[in-house]
Amino acid sequence: MWKVLLVASKIFIIHPHFIVSEGYAFGHLIILTKKVDFQKDQKITLEELKKAAERLKSKLLEAIKKETSQEVKEILGFHTMILDDPFLWDRLSNKASHGKITIEDLNKVRDEVIELFLNIDNPLIRERQHDVKDVFTKLLYEIYGEEKKRISPGDIVYLEEIFPSEVVEFKNLGVGAILCKKGSHTSHASILAQSLDIPFMFNVPDLSEYDGSLVFVDAVHGKIIVEPSKEEIKILKELIEKYSREKAETEKYSLIKFDDVKVMANIGVLQEIDFAKRKGADGIGLFRTEFLFLNRKAPPSEEEQYLAYKKALESFYPDEVIIRLLDIGGDKKLPYLNVSNDENPFLGVRGVRLLLKNRDILRTQLRALIRASAHGNLGILIPMVTILEDIIEVRKIIREIEGELKEEGVKVGNFKVGIMVEVPSVVFNLDEFIPHIDFVSIGTNDLTQYMFAADRNNQEVSKYYRDEDKAIINAIQLVVNKMSRVGKPVAVCGEIAGKVHMIEKLLNIGLKEFSVAPAKVPRVKKRIYELKQLKT
């Protein structure tokens, strides 16, 4: 389709990694600069603050009455709880002088409340720190007013960053798509955009000069087209109509289950569990645990991790939940980790290498996982494996922990231990690993990166990053063949598993387990169903 478009249009390419919620949109670009320049010494009376809080609370309660989404109701309800929190008002009163408080002190109280949330073990509650910032910002806007541009249904909004309540607001206004400069897949706003089915991309360059322009957003392939021609507009509108029809048709396939093939979900935070279930995932094929460890001064406790893993396992029981051990390297600095300054972090201390250098972190995570195994069908996934010795060492630690927990009288369930296949050496040396593992998950994103020596996030070498190349397909087939001979399962959890046009090829080489982004589960199931029908 893109070959038909005229080269005269301005096109921005966004790496698919930065697509949070898929879809197409066509409308006028609205640049929102929501920052208000409050002076630090600007003062507000406590009375004004309380009245503003009451007005804001009334608006939130009214919105809750009209809202149909339970998830949105919970967010708005939590915002009312923040406004009623006695601790908040006690701190504000303590900071006040003669019944007045400065903006600087108000922000200090906000940061104190956020710090309280950051220190809570429960990851779901800790994530609420963003809601605190959201509420305080809305409170100031309630007092001083907010300069808002008029937003019409179908408009495309661009912001530096977005709060959860704004996602809800944009949904109610009928916004066509959300574009942000900053963001992450694990933020509350991102999860909400997915749940509410609003096309959303982040890491989008500054589009200020195109404010008011007609734009087309492709949050499927990662493109933004500014001021398309009449010919292009016709093509793009047809594309949107076709996508909408196909999407409505595809959603029905979320209910299908196959006897011989599983379509599982990749998730990065607990909030994605319900979304994955709604999309018909046959379990979790990759549960990334990094969200528990990031943005904090100390590592998560065993209890915090146990509760998170327990929730995931119970939610999908009896389906399998594959939980990957912490997979962080020199490219992400955590203050409590012993990480060297690698010149090339992707070839340095990362994955299992890092875990074995930080055994206290590894042991705590393994204890939490093994305790949680009593609550579901668990698979423990070891990341970035390259040599047999590392698998043997991790399995030794697992056996030690199992023994400790049993001595402590802790119930332990059955669980499996597998490895990520992400580097070429593991593909070729898999035979020596097989006796020590129960399953494998092929991470084709990293495998492609190492196979073609091309960083998948570097646009300069994007043409060398070829995850559909025969070299990758041959590598997958080699792994499938070796594991099939001993009756052990193989899943693919990279981007290729969610590419509809590649599914037939993957099925033909014997792949039985696909693990994809939750939103892609129905379309993968649809394609598998179609292929099965052709054979009958």
pLDDT tens digits along 129-142 = 888 888 988 888 88
Across 91-105, 246-260, 380-394, least confident range: 91-105
Torsion angle of C-alpha atoms 204, 220, 492, 254, degrees rounded to 10: 130
Tokens linked to 255: 């209910």
Q: Which of 79, 130, 188, 375 is catalytic?
A: 188
Q: Is residue 239 part of a domain?
A: no
Q: Percent of the chain having pLDDT more than 90?
A: 61
Q: Is residue 238 part of a domain?
A: no
Is residue 418 over pLDDT 60? Answer: yes
Do 152 and 133 lie in one domain? The reply is no
Q: Give the count of domains, the chain.
A: 3
* Averaged pLDDT score across all residues of the chain: 90
Q: Is residue 267 part of a domain?
A: yes
Among 173, 208, 233, give the residue marking a domain's end. Answer: 233
Across 165-169, 278-282, 283-287, 527-531, least confident range: 165-169
pLDDT for 407 equals 96
Q: Which of 79, 185, 375, 493 is catalytic?
A: 493
pLDDT for 343 equals 64
Do 138 and 156 lie in one domain? The reply is no
Tokens linked to 45: 């009376």
Do 152 and 171 lie in one domain? The reply is yes
Rounded to whole angstroms, how far apart are CA atoms 510 and 499?
Answer: 16
What are the contacts of 528-535 at 24+ separation with CB within 8 A? Answer: 528/258, 528/261, 528/263, 528/503, 529/253, 529/256, 529/258, 531/503, 531/504, 531/507, 532/258
Q: How far is CA 43 from its chain centroid?
A: 39
Do 69 and 94 lie in one domain? The reply is yes
Residue pair 334/389 in contact by the 8 Å Cβ criterion? no
- Whether 493 sits among the annotated catalytic residues: the reply is yes
- Closest to 201 (Cα-Cα) out of 212, 211, 193, 192: 193
Is residue 7 over pLDDT 60? Answer: no
Rounded to whole angstroms, how far apart are CA atoms 303 and 274?
Answer: 22
Do 165 and 308 lie in one domain? The reply is no
Q: Is 363 annotated to bind ligand?
A: no
| Angle of helix 424-433 versus helix 444-452 axis, rounded to 10 | 120
Q: Is 278 annotated to bind ligand?
A: no
Residue pair 354/383 in contact by the 8 Å Cβ criterion? no
- pLDDT tens, position by position, 227-252: 998 888 999 999 999 999 988 899 99
pLDDT for 126 equals 73
- pLDDT tens, position by position, 172-211: 899 999 999 998 887 778 888 988 889 999 999 999 999 9
How many CB atoms are closer than 10 A to CB 436?
Answer: 13
Rounded to whole angstroms, how far apart are CA atoms 514 and 163?
Answer: 33
Q: What is the CATH number of the domain that holds 439?
A: 3.20.20.60
Indicate the pLDDT class of residue 56, thresholds 50, 70 and 90: very high
Q: Is 422 annotated to bind ligand?
A: yes
Q: Is residue 166 part of a domain?
A: yes
Q: Is 126 annotated to bind ligand?
A: no
| Mean pLDDT, residues 356-384 | 98
> Which pTM was predicted?
0.81
Residue pair 441/497 in contact by the 8 Å Cβ criterion? no
Tokens linked to 191: 């999860």
333 by Cβ neighbours in 10 Å (0-12 / 13-18 / 19+) ranks as exposed
Rounded to whole angstroms, how far apart are CA atoms 298 and 472?
Answer: 39
- Closest to 188 (Cα-Cα) out of 146, 111, 265, 134: 134
Do 495 and 429 lie in one domain? The reply is yes
Residue pair 490/480 in contact by the 8 Å Cβ criterion? yes
Rounded to whole angstroms, how far apart are CA atoms 298 and 420?
Answer: 27
Q: What is the CATH number of the domain that holds 77?
A: 1.10.274.10
Do 11 and 108 lie in one domain? The reply is no
Q: Is residue 244 part of a domain?
A: no
Residue 320 half-sphere exposure toward CB, CA atoms < 13 A: 22
CA distances, 148 to each of 151, 207, 214 (Å): 9, 18, 20
Q: Is residue 243 part of a domain?
A: no
Do 427 and 458 lie in one domain? The reply is yes
Rounded to whole angstroms, how far apart are CA atoms 30 and 215?
Answer: 10
Do 65 and 14 lie in one domain? The reply is no
What are the contacts of 248-251 at 24+ separation with CB within 8 A? Answer: 249/526, 250/522, 250/523, 250/526, 251/522
pLDDT for 67 equals 79
Among 183, 206, 233, give the residue marking a domain's end. Answer: 233
Q: What is the CATH number of the domain that holds 229?
A: 3.50.30.10
Rounded to whole angstroms, how far apart are CA atoms 305 and 378?
Answer: 14
- List Cβ neighbours of 131 (8 Å cut-off, separation of 6 or more): 75, 78, 79, 82, 163, 164, 165, 188
Q: Whole domain around residue 97: which residue ranges? A: 43-144
- Closest to 139 (Cα-Cα) out of 108, 110, 97: 110
Do 137 and 151 lie in one domain? The reply is no
Q: Is residue 378 part of a domain?
A: yes
How many CB atoms are closer than 10 A to CB 4?
Answer: 8
Is residue 76 over pLDDT 90? Answer: no
Among 82, 112, 144, give the residue marking a domain's end. Answer: 144
- Whether 180 sits among the annotated catalytic residues: the reply is no
Q: DSSP labels for 40-91? A: TT-EEEHHHHHHHHHHHHHHHHHHHHH---HHHHHHHHHHHHHHH-HHHHHH
Q: DSSP labels for 324-340? A: EPP---TTS--TTS---
Do 22 and 156 lie in one domain? The reply is yes
Q: Is residue 241 part of a domain?
A: no
Do 315 and 421 lie in one domain? The reply is yes
